[in-house]
Amino acid sequence: MLDQELVTKMPKLGFGLMRLPRSDKEKDIIDTEQTSQMVDRFLDAGLTYFDSAYVYNGSEEAAKACLTSRHPRDSYFITSKINVNAKGVVDAEGAKAELAESLRREGVDYIDFYLLHALSKNNIKKYDDWGIWEFVKEAKEKGLIRHYGFSFHDTPEFLDELLTKHPDVEFVQLQINYADWENPSVQSRGCYEVACKHNKPIIVMEPIKGGTLANPPKAVAELLKKADPEASYASWAIRFVASLPGVMTVLSGMSDMAQMEDNVSYMSDFKPLSEEEQKVIAQAQDILKNIDQIPCTGCRYCVGGCPKKINIPSLFTAMNLNLIFDQFEKGKQRYQNETQGEHGKASDCIRCGQCEIQCPQHIEIRSWLEKTAETFE
């Protein structure tokens, strides 16, 4: 199990490598020069946890180019994840081969924290039937990984079931943010409480809800600025989750140096939210409850299998510009930009449902695509 001293001393901010800067967005090429600068700044601030995954396009290669080939092995913790639904994986052997490939891509002999990726009732049968639980335990015994856990997107009841069935799991990665704390689709609070009941250290993902809380609705923005004119909107979101007991570290998917500098400014010497600041967050949560929006985090799990090549997250970003910020014209322009060339329109959806199976947020994607088409086409 995880050493309590390691859990306690782990810096509260982790660097999520899913949303790294791109030098060519069309070809999805990561800007390794800028990423290296960000990695250096992160380490210089005394922060050490880096989160990647086999299915995060280019993240593991970027970890090698920008981190592991440039810094001593004992100066950082590197993570990755095994995913039974990764592109091209059709059997247990294919899934298990991901570990060796991740080690090669990242340029390391072992991975510090290794996770079964995005567990839910929709995919658990493969993880069970393919012997993935046993595989990661064997990998730990061989020294290929140091600790294993899983990331999770389902109900508190199912999380409780998994942790009861697999008591030797060392940590869990959960989506927690103040917007989803009571969200019935995500149930951040319920999942958090289950992890605490089982005494599992928590890695937090999506603390800013895919960037949404870095640019909140006007009423929330005004509330936060009034409370602290100097604090960024993102800082409120990250400090909220980092203040929760049992949280080991909070992942932030930073995509430029400005975001890095902002996060480092308040997380390198982390101070939990005060009682008054907690009250401000409670007010923000009340405001958000009354705003209709699509709870998309931009993870893009829905995109790969779409037969019509609909850029679903980008279309939902356009729709949210209209719903949250009342910016119809800006949303329409974004929509038009994202439906050019080979990319399908919202109305091209054939309702196959593949996207909804993959969605960690359990969004009714087909219904929202219909509404998006009605709004912008």
Q: Express each pLDDT in 164-207 by its tens digit.
A: 999 999 999 999 999 989 887 789 999 999 999 999 999 999 99
Q: What is the pLDDT of residue 276?
A: 98
Question: Does residue 341 or residue 352 have the better pLDDT?
Answer: 352
- Is pLDDT at 231 greater than 90 in this prediction? yes
Q: How confident is the model at residue 212 (pLDDT cuts 50, 70, 90)?
A: confident
Rounded to whole angstroms, the Cα distance separating 96 from 106 reads 16
Q: What is the pLDDT of residue 183?
A: 82
**Residue labelled with tokens 């005394």:** 46
pTM, 2 dp? 0.87
**Mean predicted confidence (pLDDT) in 235-246:** 98
Q: What is the pLDDT of residue 321?
A: 87
Q: How confident is the model at residue 48 (pLDDT cuts 50, 70, 90)?
A: very high
Structural domains in the chain plus CATH codes: 4-289 (3.20.20.100), 312-376 (no CATH)
Q: What is the pLDDT of residue 25?
A: 82
Q: What is the pLDDT of residue 327?
A: 82
- Is pLDDT at 304 greater than 90 in this prediction? no
**Mean predicted confidence (pLDDT) in 70-98:** 97
Rounded to whole angstroms, the Cα distance separating 245 from 193 reads 10
- Is pLDDT at 12 greater than 90 in this prediction? yes
Rounded to whole angstroms, the Cα distance separating 34 from 17 reads 13
Given its phi and psi angles, is residue 206 left (phi above 0), alpha (psi -120 to 50 degrees) or beta?
Answer: left
- Sign of torsion, CA 182 205 34 300? negative
Q: Express each pLDDT in 127-173 by its tens digit.
A: 999 999 999 999 999 999 999 999 999 999 999 999 999 999 999 99
CA angle 19, 227, 235 (to 5 degrees): 20
**Mean predicted confidence (pLDDT) in 282-296:** 91
Q: What is the pLDDT of residue 189?
A: 97
Average pLDDT over the chain, rounded to whole?
Answer: 95
Q: How confident is the model at residue 220 (pLDDT cuts 50, 70, 90)?
A: very high
Are the C-beta atoms of residues 246 and 195 closer than 8 Å to each other?
A: yes
Q: What is the pLDDT of residue 159?
A: 98
Rounded to whole angstroms, the Cα distance separating 63 from 40 reads 12
350 C-beta neighbours (distance < 10 Å), count: 12
